[in-house]
């Protein structure tokens, strides 16, 4: 199994990864900040440097890291700086976190492709994974839980 971690404004976008062949699971979390653990309230405060992310576990025999990266770019607007829809702030930036050099190279390759398609307007950042932590349980599968009421 392999992992992809991406932030596109709000981690509730985890639903976009459902029913994709090869994707095993998703987890909402925070990544990129100064501390190894944070809360939703702290991240919303804007000074932790964390962003809301979705951690995607997938089977690379079925779907590639590059294909998941392409999906990441399709499910949000990578040309808006620190904003997605109504969510505004540094914690809502578009970012991919890699864990090894192969992931970094793949992410950079796809980012370059998308950036050419979008005339150089992509603001997505690619950085090494830093201080990932799982979000609170009430954020996990948020829409599934909410629609069952």
Question: Any idea what the CATH number is for the domain that residue 108 is in?
Answer: 3.30.1060.10
SS (H, E, C) 101-135: HHHHHHHHHHHHHHHHHCCCCCCCEEEECCCCEEC
Give the predicted TM-score (pTM) of the model: 0.91
Tell me how many domains the chain contains. Answer: 1
pLDDT of 98 reads 98
pLDDT of 146 reads 62
pLDDT of 149 reads 46
Catalytic one of 10, 31, 44, 133: 10
Give me 73's structure tokens. 């770019």
- Is 10 among the catalytic positions? yes
Per-residue pLDDT of the chain (149 residues; tens, 9 = 90+): 999 999 987 776 788 898 999 999 999 999 999 999 999 999 988 889 999 999 999 999 999 999 999 999 999 999 998 888 787 888 888 999 999 999 999 999 999 999 999 999 999 999 999 999 999 876 676 566 566 54
CA-based nearest residue to 66, from 111, 36, 14, 16: 111
What are the backbone angles phi and psi of residue 29, rounded to the nearest 5°? -160, -170
Boundaries of domain holding 81 = 2-147
């Amino acid at each position: 199994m392999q992992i992809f971690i991406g932030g596109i404004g709000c981690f509730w976008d985890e639903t976009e990864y459902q029913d994709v062949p090869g994707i095993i699971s998703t987890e909402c979390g925070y990544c990129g900040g100064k501390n190894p653990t944070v809360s939703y309230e702290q991240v919303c405060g804007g000074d932790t440097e964390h962003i809301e992310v979705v951690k995607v576990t997938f089977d690379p025999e079925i779907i590639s890291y590059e294909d998941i990266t392409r999906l990441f770019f399709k499910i949000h607007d990578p040309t808006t700086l620190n904003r997605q829809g109504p969510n505004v702030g540094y914690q809502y930036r578009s970012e991919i976190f890699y864990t090894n050099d192969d992931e970094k190279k793949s992410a950079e390759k796809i980012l370059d492709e998308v950036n050419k398609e979008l005339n150089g307007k992509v603001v997505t950042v690619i950085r090494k994974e830093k201080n990932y932590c799982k979000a609170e349980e009430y954020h996990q599968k948020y829409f599934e839980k909410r629609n069952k009421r």
